[in-house]
Amino acid sequence: SGDGGGERTENVELTVMAAASLTDVFTEIAESFEEEHPEVTVVLNFAGSGELAQQIASGAPADVFASADTTTMERVVEAGDLDADWAAEHGEEGLVFATNTLMIAVPPGNPAGVSSLHDLTSEDVSTAFCADEVPCGTATGIALEAAGLEVAPVTLEEDVRAVLTKVELGEVDAGLVYETDVISAGDRVKGIGFPEAKEALNEYPIGVLANSESPERAAAWVDFVTGQGAPIMREAGFGTP
Amino acid sequence: MTAPTPRVGRGPSGNGTARVPWVLVLPALIGLLFLLLPLVGLLVRAPWATMGRRIVDPDVLTALWLSLSTSTAATLVSLVLGVPLAWSLARTEFPGRRLVRALVTVPLVIPPVVGGVALLLVLGRNGIVGQYLYSWFGLTLPFTPAAVVVAQVFVAMPFLVIGVEGALRGADRRYEEAAATLGAGRVTVFTRVTLPMILPGIGAGAVLCWARALGEFGATITFAGNFPGTTQTMPLAVYMAMQRDPEAAIVLSLVLLLVSLAVLATLRERWMSV
Amino acid sequence: MTAPTPRVGRGPSGNGTARVPWVLVLPALIGLLFLLLPLVGLLVRAPWATMGRRIVDPDVLTALWLSLSTSTAATLVSLVLGVPLAWSLARTEFPGRRLVRALVTVPLVIPPVVGGVALLLVLGRNGIVGQYLYSWFGLTLPFTPAAVVVAQVFVAMPFLVIGVEGALRGADRRYEEAAATLGAGRVTVFTRVTLPMILPGIGAGAVLCWARALGEFGATITFAGNFPGTTQTMPLAVYMAMQRDPEAAIVLSLVLLLVSLAVLATLRERWMSV
Amino acid sequence: MAAREPRTPLDPAPTSDGGLDADLRLSRGTFTLDVRLTCPPGEVLALLGPNGAGKTSVLRALAGLTPLSDGHVFLAGEDLTTTAVEHRPVGVVFQDYLLLPHLSALDNVAFGPRCQGAGRTEARRLAMELLEQMGLAEYASARPRRLSGGQAQRVALARALAVRPGLLLLDEPMAALDIGTRATVRSRLRHLVEGFEGATVLVTHDPLDAMVMADRIAVIEDGRLVQEGSPAEVARRPRTSYVARLVGLNLFRGEASGTTVTLEGEDGRGPVRVEAGDGHRGPALVAFPPRAVALYRESSGGSPRNAWRLTVAGVERFGDQVRVLLEGGLSLAADITPAALAELALTRGSEVWAVVKASEVECYPD
Amino acid sequence: MAAREPRTPLDPAPTSDGGLDADLRLSRGTFTLDVRLTCPPGEVLALLGPNGAGKTSVLRALAGLTPLSDGHVFLAGEDLTTTAVEHRPVGVVFQDYLLLPHLSALDNVAFGPRCQGAGRTEARRLAMELLEQMGLAEYASARPRRLSGGQAQRVALARALAVRPGLLLLDEPMAALDIGTRATVRSRLRHLVEGFEGATVLVTHDPLDAMVMADRIAVIEDGRLVQEGSPAEVARRPRTSYVARLVGLNLFRGEASGTTVTLEGEDGRGPVRVEAGDGHRGPALVAFPPRAVALYRESSGGSPRNAWRLTVAGVERFGDQVRVLLEGGLSLAADITPAALAELALTRGSEVWAVVKASEVECYPD
Ligand SMILES: Nc1ncnc2c1ncn2[C@@H]1O[C@H](COP(=O)(O)OP(=O)(O)OP(=O)(O)O)[C@@H](O)[C@H]1O
Ligand SMILES: Nc1ncnc2c1ncn2[C@@H]1O[C@H](COP(=O)(O)OP(=O)(O)OP(=O)(O)O)[C@@H](O)[C@H]1O
Ligand SMILES: [Mg+2]
Ligand SMILES: [Mg+2]
């Protein structure tokens, strides 16, 4: 990769670390970005937000970090890994570029006849949630609190994808996942919206990293995601601020 | 051959004490260092100040107990099923044996998460076999401690099978013949002769199997889910902690490590030094 | 003893053909079935229609090649470092050997993701050792194919070490003594006598090691990252596919499986049937 | 040589009731075995033969450890040809003992009775009894690794006896035994065998063992039976040079015509005549013991009708005797006293007259 | 018995130049070994002793495989006491051969030369030569598993010789050999040893091997040296009943007073007197060969001065001789001809007169 400056005309790599749930959209956005900036090759590194934060803390050579939740971004900020100049301009806690709302996902045919959040409290409905430690779990907690409901899930999954798998295979009768997941799963699950979801918006912050060898290009990527990328995000089911 | 002049003294005759064979000891040291350095990293990074408090957390103890009991159960199941399987692969001839031998390694190569999915496809509520378990006996395996054991057996048993098979192939079969002439049938030969003779190999295999089961994550979380007290084993707890608080994850890992080291240091020397 | 009346015929004398020892064959069959049923589940669920198209995807081939080459490299490194380590544990006496033997199992028990973190703590650019690698040689290990190999060696080498140690303990040491009287030093005894005699055990250990390296996910994604073409091995590709399209993940897993089965069916029968 | 007659299906196996009747044909690599053996009940058959002749292969085949390609094994009228190893009423002492390394000497011996359903205590009691008889009581709890070679062999012997076999197979059971133990074990075996109703096949290299213990001797060479008979018969009338060396006779092959046998001379020296004690016509073997050979510096015109001028090829002393090896036309050995040796002043290359009385020379059809 | 004199530091090891001088003390479990052996260069020391006496332990200690707890090993003036096994110029034939199972016979033999730095071709050529001399050329490429017991043992022998050892250690190298091979190997070994400058220690159970091959014989029992001497000395004047049986003599311990020796009678029958050929005073041993014993139904008043009335305890035939075991006051063996046996009509329990000429009885200090 380039050795500083970033003023070279030859090909430059831009490394973006992004939460796994952004795989589809970022892959698409990166293609558009490369069309507009032919000198740049975007290298995407997807993993769980927590693992990415760990890699950044260990000095990973990355330019941009897009987290699936604000908590993880806070950890990166605390460690001083965000580019100071960029942060001063766009926000100390990163820039929220997308939101995601929860939906109830049920297997096709909805065997348990779920139609509302309240139905999940029934003993006969087995439910899968995200674990409290991961962003969708936090959101789930907030939504349930807002609805004033107590639900006993059979499992607390490590990520939203795992919840979706259980629903798809019919192992549980319902699960709380993001709207984006319901969309990507096509007709393998059926999504059911519920009003309390608005209380529990999950926010995706993005930021330029202190380690970046070309903060300008990194900033350009962030701009591109929030600008031209927004329609792509919305198409996938994300909300954009 | 005409009468040879005998050699007296051979090579640069040593002064007596056997020299250290560096060609062997050096790589061994490097290997050991490499395996242990990361542990040092964890120890350095561990939040010693808050350590005590974190460890006595009842949730941690629950997860630890679940881990130990399920992985021990998985090892026992693996021994019961895997040792005969290894024996069949090493001591009998049947068509397609070569393929079967390779197939045994399937769970090793499959990414554990996919393995978990595969288990769901077969043993889940709507699975190929699971649907009958459900409709006939009202049994659902996923989300129970039994599912944890199943996932661990699936992932860890091949280690036992392959290890034991290697030991069987290395064993001298003439002792088995001798036992047969004394009237021992194949089963008696197996239990009274073969088994005791390959005990070090079985010990090694069981250690691998137990350790692999203890560290199992992907298949467990996919097939058995993650519910504290029921299916949340230590690795799952570690992963969850990792999401929020990497230091807590390190503490949990160290706990897991300490316990397993204690178990292994106690058991292994006894098992393996036959 | 006064002249005994000899027995003629023993037990319910067989009509000749050795009966099948069900006590052994039955658990073996159950074990095999258990290991293979999930594979059947995957095969049933696989999207056969689109299979061909998905497989020839160049990204898949890149990941596959990376997986095969890194896990083979990891196995070679493990052999070079691990076999001497196993030898040291089995054939030499040193203080604390018992503890060291248990410590070798550390990477087995540590959840791989934590293992990856530990590797970062030690070999990362700010790590205990890594910072010197960086400031002295300008080397950064993480996020390179070398890091993939390091992660795999860390996770897979213990399988080799423990397997080979078991084989060493099961071997008859008197052959080593005989070789020593012929003038063979410890190293020669090791290479020309011990090694060939425990070849089946080493074969089994290497198979375990290779398979474990091939399936390695957690430590790799943490320590080496997930860069297509550089560090994205098949299990990582499977993980990514899982995020958007579980069926694609199944296809990738089946590809990985097929290739490893082919490799193992070819190599193993040759290695292990000494 | 016992000629093999192919048996037709109409001619069922001639089972010597209670005894062993085996027709063994098999191949191991390039080696092929084709041997027919019988042993009446209660008798001991000694199996002799040079290294690699197939003695161990015979025992393995009888025990069922090496499958036959053709032939049969009958014991006490029962067809064991396809019986599994563990169901054959056979006790085996292996050439390299094969004591189970993880069991004590006692448990090795108790192993067989246990397999036959004896209780733990009962089996151990029997085993202890046998060990005591072998003089090994104090090693009962020792692992095989801690036993000396001879101790291990005796434990192996006890182990084979412990299953009360109908057929006892012994592969050089005395090779590693010291002279005292050997006498004890030999007499113990003989004693056992005397009241034993089963058959015993004993492989040994020691002619003394064979002579003392065996009722019949079978000699195999290169996978084929070359001689069979009572010890006395074999000792008096060896049919091959291996057997002759075994029983310590000088043996020659020739053409008899009355009491004169014409041998082809060695070293291209032309035919040699031997006068024998009894007459015969046609291809014949002649044999005489080394001690029947007298050596003289000068030809003497006495009564012995055989006198050959030969060269000394070597001198070996053993015990209180000296054996002189002679060659030149005939290769033979002569046993003389050290005093005679000194008197004759024989060294390598000396020429002597070897004289043998015709009455000492056995002649029998080839 | 060779009494052990503790050596002071002022009295350095009397290294028999070029030869072996070993003082071996060690314990293995409950067994302790304490033996002092010397063997001049170019000579063969035969080590005899009952099973479990410690012969193999001696060889292991000499080879450096079992560490000494005390003592020393000097060879050709060089102190090998602490030399590592692989640096000792020693060739060993193990009692159970221990051929490397993964190497062909040829490579087993070539192993030693290779370790000593010979090239692959050179080592193989030497190995092939040795195998040919052992008559095993056709088995060069065979794995040990495919060899018969005797073939394996010869390969082991070739392997030990291939390292051109300064000290050759042979643990029953002929036990599994057939009679023909045995003669060949024996003469080959002797031939080798004749021009061989090193020392050879040979463990054997066969007195014939010991007599033919050894320059000196050492007998150990229960880890201690009980007799040492030339074969003739040992054969004529055994000091223990084991040695007496080995060389085939009747041996008794008593008190000499002139040519009369008084033995303690067995079975509480009171003392027995024996007239010997030569006189002596004090504790003494008397020995005579079984063939010197004549048996009579009736007491005859002839010249022999020893005549005892004894009971027949057993009869063994071997070869063309019959051995009668007698007891009752004295236990001894008598060798007679089958004809004599028939004439005397002896069976177990018969009473006979055993008569021995005084000139046949050796008497020597205990
Ligand atoms: N590894 C061992 N540990 C303990 N005791 C042993 C060991 N090996 C041998 N012994 C004991 O040491 C004694 C001497 O054994 P050794 O093998 O030297 O006898 P040996 O004279 O060679 O006998 P043999 O003629 O039967 O081969 C025996 O009593 C044996 O039981
Ligand atoms: N497993 C095998 N595979 C191939 N050939 C073998 C095998 N075992 C033995 N042989 C060969 O078969 C022949 C007979 O062997 P066997 O062991 O029966 O001889 P033996 O008469 O017992 O000899 P010894 O007196 O030396 O023990 C030998 O030439 C040997 O090389
Ligand atoms: Mg044999
Ligand atoms: Mg011995």
- The SS3 call for residue B83 is helix
How sure is the predictor about E339, in pLDDT bands with cuts at 50, 70 and 90?
Answer: confident
Domain count, chain C: 1
Nearest beta carbon to residue A59 from set C113, C116, C125:
C125
Residue D252 has pLDDT above 70, yes or no: yes
Q: What are phi and psi of D255, to 5 degrees?
A: -120, 120
Closest CA to C193 of C203, C206, C183: C183
Please name which ligand lies nearest the alpha carbon of E51. 1
Closest CA to E206 of E164, E266, E248: E248
CB-based contacts of B74, cutoff 8 Å, min separation 6: B149, B152, B153, B156, B157, B209, B210, B213
Taking CB atoms and a 6 Å cutoff, what residues make up the pocket around ligand 1? D 145-151, 176, 178; E 28-29, 31, 49, 51-57, 95
**Residue B274 in contact with partner chain D when CB distance is under 8 A:** yes
Residue D4 has pLDDT above 60, yes or no: no
**Is position C242 within any domain?**
no
DSSP state of A239: B
Least confident of A180-184, B268-272, D36-40: B268-272
- Residues of E within 8 A of C178 (CB-CB) are 92, 94, 98, 100
D273-332: pLDDT as tens digits = 888 888 888 899 988 888 888 888 887 666 667 888 899 988 876 656 778 889 888 888
Least confident of B122-126, D113-117, E188-192: E188-192
A100-117: pLDDT as tens digits = 999 999 999 999 999 999
Q: Which residue has the higher pLDDT, E63 or D258?
A: E63
Q: What is the mean pLDDT of chain C?
A: 85
**Is position B105 within any domain?**
yes
DSSP state of A209: B
**Is position C163 within any domain?**
yes
DSSP state of E289: -
Residue A202 has pLDDT above 60, yes or no: yes
A121-133: pLDDT as tens digits = 998 899 999 998 8
What distance lies between CA E50 and its chain's CA centroid? 9
Residue D336 has pLDDT above 90, yes or no: no
Kindly list the distances between the CA atom of residue B20 and the CA atoms of B122, B158, C180, E81, E219, in Å, as whole numbers in the listed order.
54, 37, 15, 19, 39
D229-239: pLDDT as tens digits = 988 888 888 89
ipTM of this predicted structure:
0.82
* Pairing relationship of beta strands D167-171 and D90-93 according to DSSP bridges: parallel
**Residue D52 in contact with partner chain E when CB distance is under 8 A:** yes
Name residues 178-217 of chain B within 8 A of D (Cβ).
178-186, 188-189, 192-193, 196-197, 199
Kindly list the distances between the CA atom of residue B205 and the CA atoms of B72, C90, D224, in Å, as whole numbers in the listed order.
13, 16, 48
Closest CA to C220 of C194, C202, C239: C239
**Ligand 2 proximity of D28 Cβ (cutoff 6 Å):** yes
Residue A178 has pLDDT above 60, yes or no: yes
Nearest beta carbon to residue B226 from set A51, A158, A171:
A158
Best substitution site from D147, D155, D174, D185 to test ligand 1's pocket, by max atoms within 8 Å of Cβ?
D147
Q: Which residue has the higher pLDDT, E283 or B21?
A: E283
Q: Which residue has the higher pLDDT, C47 or D186?
A: C47
Residue D15 has pLDDT above 60, yes or no: no
* Inter-axis angle of helices E105-115 and E149-162, nearest 10: 20
Ligand 1 atom closest to the Cα of residue E58 is: 18
- Of all residues in chain B, the one with the smallest CA distance to E188 is B1
Q: How far is the CA of E95 from the centre of ligand 3 (A)?
A: 15
Mean pLDDT throughout D239-265?
86
**Residue B9 in contact with partner chain E when CB distance is under 8 A:** yes
Single-letter residue type at D225: L
Alpha carbon of C137: minimum distance to chain D alpha carbons (Å): 55
Residue D121 has pLDDT above 70, yes or no: yes
Mean pLDDT throughout E205-224?
86
Q: How far is the CA of E148 from the centre of ligand 2 (A)?
A: 4
Biggest distance spanned by C-alpha atoms of chain C: 87
E9-67: pLDDT as tens digits = 333 344 446 689 999 999 988 899 999 999 988 888 999 999 899 999 999 999 999 99
**Is position B93 within any domain?**
yes
Residue ranges, chain B, pLDDT below 70: 1-19, 268-274
**Is position C244 within any domain?**
no
- Residues of C within 8 A of A61 (CB-CB) are 140, 143
Separation of alpha carbons A28 and A25, rounded Å: 5
**Ligand 2 proximity of D60 Cβ (cutoff 6 Å):** no
What distance lies between CA C187 and its chain's CA centroid? 25
Residue C110 has pLDDT above 80, yes or no: yes
How sure is the predictor about D9, in pLDDT bands with cuts at 50, 70 and 90?
Answer: very low
How sure is the predictor about A1, in pLDDT bands with cuts at 50, 70 and 90?
Answer: very low
DSSP state of C191: I
Q: How far is the CA of E150 from the centre of ligand 3 (A)?
A: 7
**Residue B227 in contact with partner chain A when CB distance is under 8 A:** yes
Separation of alpha carbons D312 and A142, rounded Å: 114
Q: What is the dihedral of CA B109, B115, B121, B125, to 10 degrees?
A: 160
Kindly list the distances between the CA atom of residue C229 and the CA atoms of A110, B167, C61, C233, D182, in Å, as whole numbers in the listed order.
41, 39, 10, 8, 76
Best substitution site from E31, E93, E206, E209 to test ligand 1's pocket, by max atoms within 8 Å of Cβ?
E31
How sure is the predictor about D159, in pLDDT bands with cuts at 50, 70 and 90?
Answer: very high
pLDDT for A143 equals 92
How sure is the predictor about C189, in pLDDT bands with cuts at 50, 70 and 90?
Answer: very high
pLDDT for D142 equals 94
Could you tell me the two tokens for E84?
């590592």
pLDDT for C5 equals 54
**Is position B97 within any domain?**
yes
**Is position C15 within any domain?**
no
Mean pLDDT throughout E116-140?
92
Closest CA to D35 of D16, D59, D17, D10: D59
pLDDT for A201 equals 87
Closest CA to A104 of A194, A237, A235: A194
Closest CA to C257 of C73, C43, C79: C43
SS3 readout for B219-263:
HHHHHCCCCCCCCCCHHHHHHHHHHHCHHHHHHHHHHHHHHHHHH
Closest CA to D280 of D340, D237, D344: D237
Nearest beta carbon to residue C127 from set A23, A58, A165:
A58
**Is position B75 within any domain?**
yes
Mean pLDDT throughout D216-229?
93
How sure is the predictor about D107, in pLDDT bands with cuts at 50, 70 and 90?
Answer: very high
pLDDT for D301 equals 64
Which residues constitute the domain of residue B116?
69-220
Residue D11 has pLDDT above 60, yes or no: no
pLDDT for E107 equals 95
Closest CA to D247 of D286, D202, D210, D201: D210
Answer whether B3 sits within 8 Å of E167, measured CB to CB.
no
**Residue C130 in contact with partner chain B when CB distance is under 8 A:** no
b (16+ CB within 10 A) / e for B175-199 = bbbbbbbbbbbbebbbebbbbebbb
Residue E1 has pLDDT above 50, yes or no: no
Name residues 168-207 of chain B within 8 A of C (Cβ).
169-172, 183, 185-187, 190, 197-198, 200-201, 203-205, 207
- Residues of D within 8 A of C3 (CB-CB) are 191-197
b (16+ CB within 10 A) / e for E277-292 = eeebeeebbbbbbbeb
Q: What is the CATH number of the domain that holds C216?
A: 1.10.3720.10
**Residue C124 in contact with partner chain A when CB distance is under 8 A:** yes
C200-249: pLDDT as tens digits = 889 889 988 998 899 888 899 889 988 888 899 999 988 888 877 778 88
Q: How far is the CA of D157 from the centre of ligand 4 (A)?
A: 17
Nearest beta carbon to residue C14 from set D87, D196, D197:
D87
Separation of alpha carbons A36 and D237, rounded Å: 109
A203-222: pLDDT as tens digits = 999 999 998 988 999 999 99
